[in-house]
Every structure is written in C-alpha cells, then in structure tokens.
Chains A and B, each alone.
Chain A
C-alpha cells in the first residue's frame, strides 16, 4: 500500500501533456561514455537568493555535444515577473519595463523543458539554479526536474591536484575559474553569457577528466558531491 502511495505522488494524474512528454524521455539511459552525453549548460538570473520569495528573470543555456558548442542551438528567454528587486538590477541589468519579449513563467518552463529534454544539466553552483527552477515548477503544481546535473564549481575542484598546499575547502567562483583558464569575461552577468563561459569551462574540465580510463557516466555523477 505504502509503495502505491509513493508511486502516486511521483505521477499525479493531472499533469499537463508537455510534462508527460518530457518525463517519457527519461526511459532512455544516459550513454556510458561521457563524451557521448548531451549536456545543457545553463544559468539563471534571479531577483535574489531567496528560494521562496525571489523569482527567475532570465534563463540562458547552450548545448554541449562532443566537446562542441553549436551556437544556433543556444537558448535565451526572459520571464515576466511581478517581483522586482532594485538591488539585483545592478548585477544582471534586467530592468522591469525592459522592451525584450517576455514570457509568462509557465510558458518559459514549458520552453525550457522542451529544450533540455533528458540531457545532463550543468551549471556553476548548480544547486542554486536547479532549486530556483524546481521552485518555479512547484508554483505550477509540477514535479521537480528529472535531469541529472553537474556543478562546474565542484568538478573544477576535482581537477586540482591533491596537495596540502592548496585549500581543499575553497569554493571557486566563476570568475576565478575563468581567470585560471584564461577565458574572456565579456557578457558576464547575462544568463546566456554566463552559461557560455560556464560551458567553455565545462568542456575544458571534461577534456581533463575524460583522460582517465575509469571515467564513465556513473563515475562522473559521483563527482557531484
């Protein structure tokens, strides 16, 4: 009985079609070879850091396949939000009455789910972006994202050599890693710009870690925590 109860919670009947379509994609397994996986590297700009009260303003994402980014597959959407926080405008530069085309939150989520499919998601400090999106899904009575995800901040840490001479507990910012890899920082703090920088970092890290013969998708996700 209790098993049934769990099952029910997993698949409420009244889910919309676009969600069902998205969920069905996960019947497929992720490729074993980490080079064959499709990764979506994304970033969100938000009104702040509070999961309950703050909202997503913009999502930018790029697709990484076989160590390559295809520019015509980039994704960038702006969301219509009632919440406005003048403090964060300084960071992301998105003002309330901006003329860019804006989608309602549910439309944006629909588009985003369609774009990401069953790919592996990648973000810098991924927990934040994932949770922001999950909160948005929750507001529309939808379940959480089903995708596996990776965090470039943690992955980067694993590529560093193990020595007592560097601080193992250090949390690396996007800027620090970009500096270490000599990546230009123009377009920083736009969702797509940050996603692109994160993607370049990610393919560099991927090249470094995929040298190990033991590295397959199973091991890759162990890197998450």
Chain B
C-alpha cells in the first residue's frame, strides 16, 4: 500500500533531531508507523504518575508545556516544547511512570512515535541514542533546537539553566566568548579585536591568570577623552584586581556584586579567585537577557524577530511575564499598559513583515485598526482577533484594485496573528473580510448607516467598532473616522438610547437572593460567565456615557470611568467604583485564564474561596449602580 502521507511526515521529521540523524529509508519506515494526535489547548497529553505510553512525542504544530508539581500539587511550567521538540522520553529509558505533566499550551497536533519501532535506532545509532539521552537528562529540552544547535557543548558547557524560571537563585549564564589579551597589547589592537568579536570587554591575562579587565566604559572615559593615547599598552588602563567568581554564581549574587562594585562584567575563574584560569565572563547585559522576563528585552526581541515562529516563542515569554506580574499582585493599570505595548509591538512587527512580503509597497496610506479589547487596551490574555483596515480614498476606477491589495495584505497578517495565538474571529470581523477593508469615505458611510438605521445588529457592530485603536499606519485616517462618528452622533438621541438599551441587556449578575447568576444550559452550564455578566456590562456602560459626553480618544474602560468621574462630580463615587471594578474583574479573569490555560471567561464558582466571592460581589454592586443610572438617565424603560 502506498502511503503519500507518510512521506510528508518523513519530510517534517527529517528537519529535527533525532530524526535528522536517520537515513531516508529508516525515516520513512518510522513515519509509516506514526500516530497523528490532535489536542485542544489545555489538554493533558500525560500526567505525573501516569504509566508510560507506548509512544514518545514530537510537536508538529502548537506548543506543549511540561510541568512539575510542587508539594501542594500546584503545577509549575518548567519547559515549553514547540514545533520539532520531542518530549515524553521517559518510557524509552525506564519502565517508570511519568514524573511530569505534559499539557498543551496551544491547540496542537502531535506525532506519536511508537517506542517498539524506534528503540532499535536508539540502540544501534549512537548519535540518536546520545541525542535522546541529552534531551532526557536536560529535562527534555531539545538541546539541538534551532537556537541551541551547535552551541550547547562549546559555549554553555556545564551550565544548566532553566530559562523560564524566575528565580534569582539559579546559576547565572556564563559566556565563553570572552576575549583575552596580554598586558603588553596596544589599546588600538585590543579595541579592534573587541569590535571584530563584537564583545564589550577584554580580560587582560598573564599565563591565563586574570590580572585586569577593560570594558567599553574604560575606553569612553580614558581613551576617547584623549587622556591616553591609542598606542599605549592596555595594561595602563585596565581595572585591577578583577572581580572573580566561580561558575556556580547565582543571578542574584551576580547582580548584587555588580551593583556593589559598580561594574558591569564579572570574570569567572576555575576556583573563583584571581589565581586560577579564566573560564568565562558574565556581563550585565547577559543577565538581563537571560532573565528574559524584562519587558524591554522582549520589546527588542519583537522588533528584531525575523520569523513568525520567533514571534510565537516571544509570546510564550510574554505570557510568562504576565503570570509573574499577576502572581506578584502588580496593579492592573501597569500590567495592562505593558501588555498593551507588547501586543501592539507584536502586531506592528507582523504587519511590517507582511508588507515586505507583498510584491509592491502599499499603493496609498492605510491604517490597521484593532477593535474590541486590544482597542480598549484591556487585552491581557490572547483572545480572538478583531481588526479592520482603512485606506485613503482613491479614484472610483482604482477602488477595487486598491482594496484587493489590502485584502491580500490583511489575509497575510491575520494568518500570522493566528499562528502566534490570536484565534480568528468567529464572526469574520477581520480586515481580510471585504466588508471591513474599506476606504475612508466608505467607512464614513458605513458608520452613518449603522448609526441612522439602528437595529440590533447595527448597534452590536457599532459597539465593536467604536472601541477602535490604531495599531499601524496613518493616524489621520482613524482620526477622520472618529470625527465623523461624533458628528453623526450629534443630536441622534434615538441611537444613544439604543446603545443604552444594549448596555442593560445583561443585568447585574446577582440574583434575587444575592446568588450568582450562572449559565443555565449548554456546555457551560453552571459556570459563571465573567465576560458577559461582569466585564461587558461595564464596558458597554462606559462606552455609552463617554460617547454621550463626546470625549474622543479614550477607549480604555477604566480610563473612561475616571474621565466620567471628572466630568460629573456628583456621580464621582459610582464612576470610581466602576473603574475599580472593571480592573478587578479583568485581573480576576486573567488569573483564571492563566490557571486553566484558557480565556478565563467561564469560572467554576465552587472553586472560589470566600474572599474571592465577596470581592466579586462587591464589583457587581457597581454594575447594579451604573445600570440604575443609565435606566434613569436614558428613560430606557420605554424600550425594555
């Protein structure tokens, strides 16, 4: 029986070790035995204590988190496997139960490789065996993955580093890429070697024993100022003695030492004293980078990312950062600002890359609009993508040609956003939809018709489109649309009332007996929908009131309420309570989402502690108050 699919699987496997170490025939043989598995996000592939499967796994698409559980059984992610990474190797080496959980961090397709068919290769082919041993010993991280390939043994030898961990007490990452010169070398020669090797420091050694160190700072302060000539010996400007440590230096210690001595490089020697051979160097930059949880580092990485896969990996780190922030209880205002900036930069980077991939530059100016939660700067977890595109007016005969260019661009962008974790909008509310890829005047017409014929669908659309924020491109275009919306709204009480009715469609979530209202049927039965019943009523109310006050350019719900508190001092307390509640609910949802690896939208109330329940109830009080205010102000009872 011919098997063309096996050939395709072999093509994929052949790109990754250990499979790349096999011969073509062997690879095809294995591929014919593969099992293709599909997992939704947040599903267990195997869990701690479970008996070993007959397979080990390689990620074809998506990502899998490997989790250790602590004493209280709380899972902690120790590693993330993405495309091409192998995991679940334990059954290959020992007939023991799994020691870790493997859970899908994204929707994933996995290839399961049968042990019985693979084992012979692991035994007979020593390269394969070594690879698997390495993977297994280094806690299943693929030591040959693209980033690490070839580096593992030469540079980061004897350094075990759990990249994702936040702990300061882990060993610091040591660079072996240090440059060493003798004291007699001229400054000019040392400098040219430094720039050639692209390093910021040089260690001055005598018989491989460090006697001094010279860094960029020394050049700036001593050489460039003209105090010392470039022909002078480097020994004359070196700092001495050198601060040395042994390789088990921890991150925290390294940082403290640098602060204490006001230096940015530490020399690593064999026994930690300046009397033994130099083994490596640790720079402040490396420390910040190895932590990987620093927003500015992530930002740089986003801007430099050259592939969607790379951006996807950065997303993983961003999520890790978010988890850390939520755990350490950092105020939501700060968190959302940082997350917004990172999300925004990601979207910009994706669009930039897609424009480069087009055959020609954009024919006219355009703007990419993010709608919904990203538009309101409230998006913490990745949700559906909602976006739209506006381009400059063009002559009638050029219109469709121009639109097709932008549709093509938008299709590329939305596809890549999907790959990095933003689900497609199920209602196709995306810039790749010809309905939402319009010229400036078309958008104006669109808003006019939505506002003047306000049926329920139109109001729903308006609500989504009113909270837009420019993510990329020409801000003049989005401003023109904003102006137009406010002009059209002027004096249209009917529409404003329609919005008010919509804002009240989800009643305050506390029932008659102060019980939580939970979902009555469907797959989410008995779960509490925090988005629909908590976050949306506040978002809708804020939008309505701020539009009525004709305030432009504030789209964040909490910010809108803060602004309303200024505008209406007599209702200040209600508005401030709402601002607080909207932040509290979003944070609550985010925490739930991180815990369950989902959107956090549906909450099992049984699992909440009393304190959380009280907190939630307090938030709902403000929903009730704001809804009362809307009812009275807009006389909506006629409509209900």
Residues of A within 8 A of B (CB): 62, 67-72, 74-76, 100, 160-161, 163-166, 179-180, 182, 186-187, 190, 192-193, 196, 200, 203-204, 207-208, 211-213
The answer on a CB contact under 8 Å between B36 and A74 is no
Please indicate which of the listed interface residues B2, B39, B61, B424 has the most CB atoms of chain A within 10 Å of its own CB: B2
Determine the chain A residues whose CB is within 8 A of the CB of B32 once the complex forms: 71-72
Cβ of A76 and Cβ of B4 under 8 Å apart?
A: yes
Interface residue stretch chosen among B242-250, B373-381, B425-433: B425-433
Cβ 8 A contact of B523, one of A72, A180, A187, A211: A211
- Of the candidate stretches B5-13, B83-91, B326-334, B587-595, the one touching chain A is B5-13
Also in contact, A76 and B34, with CB within 8 A (given A71-B6, A161-B427): no
Q: Does the CB pair B523–A68 fall under 8 Å?
A: no
Q: Are A74 and B3 in contact (CB under 8 A)?
A: yes
CA distance A71 to B8 in the complex (A): 11
Return chain B residues, CB-CB under 8 Å to A186: 8
Within 8 A of A (CB), among B7-56: 8-9, 31-40
Q: Is the pair B457, A165 in contact by a Cβ cutoff of 8 Å?
A: yes
Which of chain B's residues has its CB closest to A165's CB? B427
Measured between beta carbons, the chain A residues less than 8 angstroms from B427 are 161, 163, 165-166
Q: Which residues of chain A come closer than 8 Å to B613, judged between CB atoms? A: none
B45 nearest CB across to chain A (Å): 11
Q: For B38, give its contact among A161, A187, A203 (CB under 8 Å).
A: A203
Distance from B311 Cβ to chain A, minimum over Cβ atoms (Å): 15
Asked if A69 and B8 make an inter-chain contact with CB atoms under 8 angstroms apart, the answer reads: no
**A182 vs B8: C-alpha distance when bound (angstroms):** 17
* Nearest A residue (CB) for B411: A179
Instruction: Determine the chain B residues whose CB is within 8 A of the CB of A76 once the complex forms.
Output: 1-4
Contact B418 A71 (CB under 8 A): no
A77 to chain B, nearest CB (A): 8
Q: Let me know if A187 and B4 touch, CB within 8 A.
A: yes
CB nearest to B111 among chain A residues:
A71
* Chain A residues, CB < 8 A from B523: 211-213
User: How near does chain A come to B314, taking the closest CB pair, in angstroms?
Assistant: 19
Closest to B429 in A: A165
Most buried by A among B1, B38, B61, B109: B38
Residues of B within 8 A of A213 (CB): 523, 525
Q: Cβ of B38 and Cβ of A182 under 8 Å apart?
A: no
Per-position 1/0 for B61-78, Cβ under 8 A of A = 100000000000000000
**Is B522 an interface residue when CB atoms closer than 8 A count as contact?**
yes
* Nearest 8 A/B pairs, CB to CB: A69-B36, A203-B38, A212-B523, A211-B523, A161-B426, A71-B34, A165-B427, A68-B37
Docked Cα-Cα span, A209 to B383, in Å, equals 20
A197 to B32, CA, bound (A): 17
Q: List 17 A-B contacts (CB under 8 A).
A: A68-B35, A68-B36, A69-B36, A71-B3, A71-B34, A74-B6, A76-B1, A76-B4, A161-B426, A161-B427, A182-B418, A200-B109, A203-B38, A204-B38, A204-B107, A207-B40, A213-B525
Min CB distance A208 to B, Å, is 8
Given contacts A203-B38, A212-B522, A213-B523, contact A187 B5 (CB under 8 A): yes
In the complex, the chain A residue whose C-beta lies closest to that of B33 is A72
Min CB distance A175 to B, Å, is 13
Chain A CB within 8 A of B190 CB: no
Q: Inside 8 A of B522's CB, which chain A residues have their CB? A: 212
Nearest chain B CB to A78's CB is how many angstroms away? 9
Contacts of B31 in A (CB 8 A): 71
Question: What CA separation (Å) do A211 and B522 show in the bound complex?
Answer: 9
B36 and A71 form a contact (CB under 8 A): yes
Interface assignment of B461: CB less than 8 Å from any CB of chain A: yes
Question: A68-B37, A213-B523 given as contacts; is B8 within 8 A of A100 (CB)?
Answer: no
Q: Is the CB of A190 within 8 A of B38?
A: no
CA distance A70 to B55 in the complex (A): 12
A203 vs B110: C-alpha distance when bound (angstroms):
13
| Whole-angstrom distance between the Cβ of A71 and the nearest chain B Cβ | 5
Q: How far is the CA of A208 from the CA of B223 in the complex (A)?
A: 67
Encode B447-488 as 1/0 by CB contact (under 8 A) with A.
000000000010011000000000000000000000000000
Give bound CA distance, A190 to B112, whole Å: 24
B285 interfacial contact with A, CB 8 Å:
no
CA distance A17 to B208 in the complex (A): 86
Chain B residue at minimum C-beta to C-beta distance from A75: B1
Chain A, residue nearest B55 (CB):
A68
B419 is an interface residue with CB less than 8 A from chain A = yes
Residue B415 lies at the interface, judged by CB distance under 8 Å to chain A: yes
A-chain residues with CB within 8 Å of residue B2 when the two chains form the complex: 76, 100
* C-alpha spacing A69/B5, complex, angstroms: 11
| B38 with A166: CB separation less than 8 A | no
Closest chain B residue, CB of each to CB of A191? B4
Collect the chain B residues with CB atoms within 8 Å of residue A71's CB: 3, 5-6, 9, 31-36
CA A212 to CA B519, docked complex, whole Å? 14
* A196 and B5 within 8 A (CB): yes
Nearest-neighbor residue (CB-CB) of B524 within chain A: A211
A164: B residues at CB distance < 8 A:
457
Give Cα distance in the complex from A209 to B33, angstroms.
29
Question: B38 to A165, Cβ gap below 8 A?
Answer: no
Give B5's nearest chain A residue, CB to CB: A196
CA–CA, A68 and B35, complex, Å:
6
Residues of A within 8 A of B424 (CB): 180
With a cutoff of 8 Å between Cβ atoms, the chain A residues found around residue B37 in the complex are 67-69
A residues less than 8 Å from B40 (CB atoms)? 207-208
Closest residue of B by beta carbon distance from A212: B523
Interface contact A68-B33, CB-CB below 8 Å: no
Query: B470 CB to closest chain A CB, in angstroms?
Result: 23
Q: Please report the C-alpha to C-alpha distance between residue A204 and residue B38 in the assembled complex, in whole angstroms.
A: 7
B4: contacting residue among A182, A190, A203, A204, CB under 8 A: A190
A181 to chain B, nearest CB (A): 9
Which of B35, B415, B418, B419 has the most chain A CB atoms closer than 10 A to its own CB?
Answer: B35
Cα distance A196–B461 in the bound complex, in angstroms? 38
Quote the shortest CB–CB distance from A69 to chain B (angstroms). Answer: 4
Q: Within the assembled complex, what's the spacing in Å between the Cα atoms of A7 and B419?
A: 55
**Minimum CB–CB distance for A194 against chain B, Å:** 11
Cα A100 to Cα B504 in complex, Å, equals: 67
List the A side residues contacting B418 at CB < 8 Å: 182
Cα A193 to Cα B428 in complex, Å, equals 27
